[in-house]
Structure 1
Amino acid sequence: MKLIQNFILFLPKVIFCKVLDKEQSIQVLNKYFLEHISPLIFDIITENDFYFKVTKKRCSKYGDFKPLHNGKSKITVNNDLDKDHFLTTFLHEFAHFKVWQKVKNLQNPHGELWKLEFYNLLNEFHNQGGFSVGLSEQLLKTFRKRNNTISFSKNKMSEILSRNISEDVRFLKDLSPKEQFIDSKGNAFEILEKRRTRFLCRNIKTKRLFLIHGLFKIKTI
């Protein structure tokens, strides 16, 4: 019986480290991916040398890749993402893992090699029907326009994701410095400045500073 030992659920205040069989693991993965691609995700996790964690929501990022001291690596994805966004975030971080396996270097994390890996993964899962119809149509248009796959970037993927979301949803990137907003927990922030794809924001109550991604969903004050 094939076991998945490197799938770890990370929940608020509790860490579960379970050894599950394939059927149990796929049932868990079905919560985050379309059911027909969960077996493909299972194979990726079990056939590669990284830990996979589903984490609680983080304001500063949707996912993360990190090499560990024991020779393994860790991929994390936030648990509050819809299935399209969860898959693209997972593939984004898995592309980092694949680059790390080749060059063992994170100095240029979104360079040409990463762009090619990310593009190829998106194309593969698009062909497998891993995305919703709306996002698949956007990806297909993008693939047809791009003869040079190297030019496909994480910013282009973020743009496609934002177009695929309901028009009544507002993102942090829609605001300007000095504007204020509220997150899903009711915390109020003020934007101080933009830094590439993230914004430096100050919690109005605690005065703490946060770097928050431009695609963070917000409510304006």
Structure 2
Amino acid sequence: MNGRLSRRVTFVITDPHGPPSFGLAHARASGICDHAQGRNGAGGVMMTDLDATDFAVVVYREDDRWEAEVLPVALTRDLDGLVHALRQQPSMGGTIGLVAVGDDFFVAIRVLGDEVMVFLSDVTASVDWPLAGQVLEHLDIPIPEEEELDQVLPVGDMSVFADLGLDEMELGAISGDLDLYPDEMLLSIAERVGFGRPFERALDTIG
């Protein structure tokens, strides 16, 4: 389990309206997965530097088939920029954004017209990571207090992929699997929804 701590997963649902690539695995094996730290405005620690395993991918349908492309890595810390990038990509049935930040968490976004659905795999990541904090702000959910950080909780729109065949419980089970890294969780989601191959091809272009 790669030294990960055990965690209890509880599901938090909000209203939507209100195998990893060689490059990723090699980065882990080389010991270059640690993120540098900075200070946030509240005096706490805020992770800011980009990591070799961070990525953002846009997934969309074109000519009735799934396509996936890597987005600029800077979008792994900019929710507004990510949503803007997704809106620029025409797609039948909306556009999907999948972001993995190191070994820590992932974010799934789906843009359907004016509707933006967002899912965060670990609410406690909002204490350390800009993107996770921005997700909570978007969802109008407070950042957890220190005494609440012993539980890793997914938060956001658990039904983000429900109409594509991945229901809330299955998404919760994937995000709570202690044996998977964030990129592996996203690959499981991609395979379950039906765009596993395009997603893998996109990841193969990283590193």
More helix by share: 1
Radius of gyration: which is bigger?
A: 1
More strand by share: 1
User: Scaled by the length of structure 1, what TM-score is found?
Assistant: 0.30
* Structure with bigger RCO (C-alpha 8 Å, 6+ apart): 2
